[in-house]
Amino acid sequence: MSGRLAILIFVSAVLIGCQPSPEPFLVLSGPKNLTRVEVRDTRDEVVWSIRATEPRTLASVYYGVVPEGFVQTAPEAGSQPRSLIDGEVLVTSTVTLRREFTHYGFARGTQGFQANHSEMKNSPSPN
């Protein structure tokens, strides 16, 4: 019996180790009516971008995962964004109907982000 238990524990540990346990790329503190999320590198190239089909409220965003009600605009829809390089400098933008939040920081691993500084400005009124 103890041999079976040891095998079961080993197999469980292996399976748990294979399961992704993603950490949110961005945790959003209260943005309402989110319309766009964008990630840029130091060359100002868009690494990943999503746009809401209609303004939505999200609590968090996972890098490379398109939330319900959003479409991926970069890279081309259906393509996965490149893996981030641990420590690379990034700029993220989260845009709502009324404000744009810009976060300056760096990649944590291949899918995480650590902001060092954030700025907020009012979004231009739609024409």
Contact between residue 70 and residue 57 where contact means Cβ atoms under 8 Å apart = no
Please enumerate in sequence order all residues whose Cβ is within 8 A of that of 7, keeping only pairs 6 or more positions apart, or say none: none
Task: Quick: pLDDT tens for 70-80.
Answer: 999 999 988 99
Domain count across the chain: 1
Residue 4 located in a structural domain: no
Q: How far apart are CA 112 and CA 60, in angstroms?
A: 12
d(CA 54, CA 61): 16
Residue 4 has pLDDT above 60, yes or no: no
Structure tokens at 45: 């190239």
Domain extent, residue 71, equals 22-122
Q: Cα 47 to chain center, whole Å? A: 11
Q: Residues with Cβ < 8 Å from 1, sequence gap 6 or more?
A: none
Mean pLDDT over 15-20 rounds to 35
Q: Could you tell me if residue 109 is inside a domain?
A: yes
The type of residue at 102 is T
The verdict on residue 12 lying in a domain is no
Interval 89-126: pLDDT, tens: 999 999 998 899 999 999 999 888 999 999 999 976 55
Rounded average pLDDT over 9-23: 40
The reply to whether 15 falls in a domain is: no
d(Cα 62, Cα 119) in Å, to the nearest integer? 21
